[in-house]
Structure 1
Amino acid sequence: MPPQKQYTTPVVVIGYALCSSLLAIINKYAITQFNYPGLLTALQYLSSSLSVFLLSKLGFLHHDPFTISTAKKFFPAALVFYLAIFTNTNLLRHANVDTFIVFRSLTPLLVAIADSLFRNQPLPSNFTFLSLLLILASAFGYVATDSAFTLTAYSWAFAYLVTITTEMVYIKHMVMNLGLNTWGFVFYNNFLSLMMAPFFWFLTGENVQVFHALGSGSGNLFDLTAFVAVSLSCVFGLLISFFGFAARKAVSATAFTVTGVVNKFLTVAINVTIWDKHASPVGLICLLFTIVGGVLYQQSVTGPRDALPSVAMQADIEIGIGDKDDLEGEKLRKG
């Protein structure tokens, strides 16, 4: 068993924030250069699951072994995760990054409500609720000056809003109750998503496009620029898998979601620099208020086991079977 490792909350939150901010731009660039969203995400799942498997074999990390019983329990969460990534990628395919940001910014308020309704978390305080409303209002103001919306883009945006809200709450529930370590969650999530990819590949008809591109030698399948873009998206996909699950263990679902929203500042800064379609200066001012709302946000009061000061649960699980039993006993004591 590898030595025990502690991941402090600031480290995992900063890691998640950087990956979350850069991944949106990288995925937008990748889908622009490699216009096959299903194949792109499948390559991300393949690289992440294969990397975890190989690094585990080489002794650099430890992940829980794959079992059918655990896979069955985890499958619903993996399905929600896949749908969230699927709708996210198609949203970036049909809309600009601004549209992605505003719908991503809507999630904290919905997650806070879902947390309270389905996970028995306390309702946000008045101050917290006002900060979430500020994020929401500012995000709407940010895109109010952007008229580049289409019905297709809005349809994918709405689907993304529904799936990402469900994913944020349901995955949090799985993280806190299934008893896998961080890399175990990364492996199960990506491997099961990879298994689902062919179904959606044929469902959307993307397989026809790919086979046509292979037969005709078109479609940038073997273009060097596309290769670099896809490779970067795969690397950051692996990194955000780790930091994402680690952050989910360290903070509440709503705080985790707000972290992703606030740190879209870097995404917008890069977006303004490299893309010609973005909001006006008034929209950028609204973005600053979105960030202010995130700074004002304070995590809702939770129980001591929910508001872990560090990602200690991963270390607890990695110690051994006895610690897993202790965790299960703690869950039973909490009811």
Structure 2
Amino acid sequence: MAHPKFILSISCKQSLSNSHILDILRVCSSQVFTLLLMAKQYYATSSLVIGYALCSSLLAIINKYAVTKFGYPALLTALQYLTSAGGVWILGKLGFLCHDPFNLENAKKFAPAAIVFYLAIFTNTNLLYHANVDTFIVFRSLTPLLVAIADTAFRKQPCPSKLTFLSLVVILGGAVGYVITDSAFSLTAYSWALAYLVIITTEMVYIKHIVTNLGLNTWGFVLYNNLLSLMMAPFFWFLTGEYKSLFTAIESRGERWFQVDAFVAVALSCVFGLLISFFGFATRKAISATAFTVTGVVNKFLTVAINVLIWDKHSSPFGLICLLFTIAGGVLYQQSVTKKGITAPQHEPESSEQTKDDNEGIELDEEKQSLVPTSKSSNA
């Protein structure tokens, strides 16, 4: 018969062995669960970045295609506002997002921002109607130059550093080279481009400070911006006389007034305008500010590449080189301002680049907008 102490020793060893195995299993299961969560987060973040990149890089091209096929810039922007405002309201009712309720007091305070936003989208759409996507990108990339001048002249900000000044010279040189070599130069197109440039600069320098004090969340921002812009749309529709052209076209075409390709182009433009609001907001929350900026730069190159590949509505080879120089100057400008923000944090709240990044991150519009999650409405 075995000694009691011997039996107790064996029992203790078995108990310790089982306990050790359970601990190992717990650790392994915990690690597996952590890895699964990391993988899930990685794929979710990757999906958001890819979605934002596709929406941002394709939006200007889709808008160009839509306004070319449709032919009515003011009505197109009104449909985009309707889609974005309606989409936010419906998704809010379904519980997919939370937005501030619409009230008259906030609407009055938000009105100046909405007017500038509408003018930015209106001039942007007319620019795309009369010029190619490359021209739009060049003038969009010129905004840091005017923002820096406005900050120094009107807001008493310090003069740009040497690196910032160099980047602005590169941007200006690329833009001038592009304009000189633009074979499709049109006074009408460049008039819209200059109007867009002035308005978008005004938006970046001043309007953000108006909007920040309202305390709206991002989707409330989108709702107010697009709904107020939708209310202003009929005024511009009649002011430009576009309604006459539309009614004439409907009467002349008779039963063939509806064209499938134009309908698809407009629908894509409206849907992508709403999608960039979502992906722009979600991506900015999911990744760092630096990564978001890099993604925005890559998107511009993607826009240029896609625009060259799909059709002939682009600039000459030398014009494309000038365009790439302009974008490169924008990258250098972002780097110089980021470095300045790190070395002199006391000026960070007044940084024009911060204003620029915030506006572009809210435009969904990306380009818009792009005063909504995207630089620019959702639609710019």
Asked if Structure 1 and Structure 2 have the same fold, meaning a TM-score greater than 0.5 normalized by the shorter chain, the answer is: yes
SS in 2 for 1:217: helix
Tell me if 1:23 matches 2:66: no
Percentage of identical aligned residues: 74
Does structure 1 retain, via aligned residues, the 8 Å contact 2:138–2:326? no
1:144 Cα offset (Å): 3.0
Q: Of 114, 118, 122, which residue of structure 2 is paired with 1:78?
A: 114
Query: Which TM-score applies when normalising by structure 1?
Result: 0.77
Does structure 1 retain, via aligned residues, the 8 Å contact 2:67–2:129? yes
The verdict on how the C-alpha distance between 1:75 and 1:200 changes in structure 2, with shifts beyond 3 A counting, is same
Match of residue 305 from structure 2: 269
Q: What letter corresponds to residue 278 of structure 1 in structure 2?
A: H
Match of residue 333 from structure 1: none
Rounded to whole Å, the distance in 2 between the matches of 1:62 and 1:77 is 21
Rounded to whole Å, the distance in 1 between the matches of 2:149 and 2:47 is 27
1:67 Cα offset (Å): 0.8
Does structure 2 retain, via aligned residues, the 8 Å contact 1:33–1:220? no
The verdict on how the C-alpha distance between 1:291 and 1:160 changes in structure 2, with shifts beyond 3 A counting, is closer
Match of residue 101 from structure 1: 137
Match of residue 195 from structure 1: 231
Rounded to whole Å, the distance in 2 between the matches of 1:128 and 1:220 is 55
Q: Of 220, 237, 247, which residue of structure 1 is paired with 2:273?
A: 237
Match of residue 364 from structure 2: none
1:301-331, Cα deviation, whole Å (9 max, x unpaired): 25466769x99xxxxxxxxxxxxxxxxxxxx
Rounded to whole Å, the distance in 2 between the matches of 1:137 and 1:13 is 31
1:18 Cα offset (Å): 4.7
1:129 Cα offset (Å): 2.4
Does structure 2 retain, via aligned residues, the 8 Å contact 1:15–1:243? yes
SS in 1 for 2:181: coil
Query: Which TM-score applies when normalising by structure 2?
Result: 0.69
Does structure 1 retain, via aligned residues, the 8 Å contact 2:144–2:330? no
Q: Of 325, 347, 350, which residue of structure 2 is paired with 1:289?
A: 325
Does structure 1 retain, via aligned residues, the 8 Å contact 2:138–2:323? no
The verdict on how the C-alpha distance between 1:105 and 1:151 changes in structure 2, with shifts beyond 3 A counting, is same
Match of residue 204 from structure 1: 240
- Pick 1 or 2: higher relative contact order, CA cutoff 8 A, min separation 6: 1
1:110 Cα offset (Å): 0.8
The verdict on how the C-alpha distance between 1:174 and 1:237 changes in structure 2, with shifts beyond 3 A counting, is farther
1:64-93, Cα deviation, whole Å (9 max, x unpaired): 000101000000000000001111111111
Rounded to whole Å, the distance in 2 between the matches of 1:82 and 1:46 is 13
The verdict on how the C-alpha distance between 1:186 and 1:107 changes in structure 2, with shifts beyond 3 A counting, is same
Match of residue 329 from structure 1: none
SS in 2 for 1:65: coil
The verdict on how the C-alpha distance between 1:10 and 1:169 changes in structure 2, with shifts beyond 3 A counting, is farther
Match of residue 178 from structure 1: 214
1:107 Cα offset (Å): 1.0
Aligned residues: 300
Does structure 1 retain, via aligned residues, the 8 Å contact 2:175–2:326? yes
Match of residue 3 from structure 1: none
Match of residue 36 from structure 1: 72
1:244 Cα offset (Å): 6.0
Tell me if 1:213 matches 2:287: no
1:20-40, Cα deviation, whole Å (9 max, x unpaired): 432110110001110011111
The verdict on how the C-alpha distance between 1:305 and 1:88 changes in structure 2, with shifts beyond 3 A counting, is closer
Which structure's CA Rg is the greater one? 2
The verdict on how the C-alpha distance between 1:140 and 1:248 changes in structure 2, with shifts beyond 3 A counting, is farther
Does structure 2 retain, via aligned residues, the 8 Å contact 1:98–1:143? no
Does structure 1 retain, via aligned residues, the 8 Å contact 2:69–2:262? yes
Query: What runs of 5+ residues in structure 2 fail to find an aligned partner?
Result: 1-44, 359-380
1:134-185, Cα deviation, whole Å (9 max, x unpaired): 1221232234322211221121111111111112223322343221000000
Q: What letter corresponds to residue 30 of structure 1 in structure 2?
A: A
1:22-67, Cα deviation, whole Å (9 max, x unpaired): 2110110001110011111000000000000000001000000001
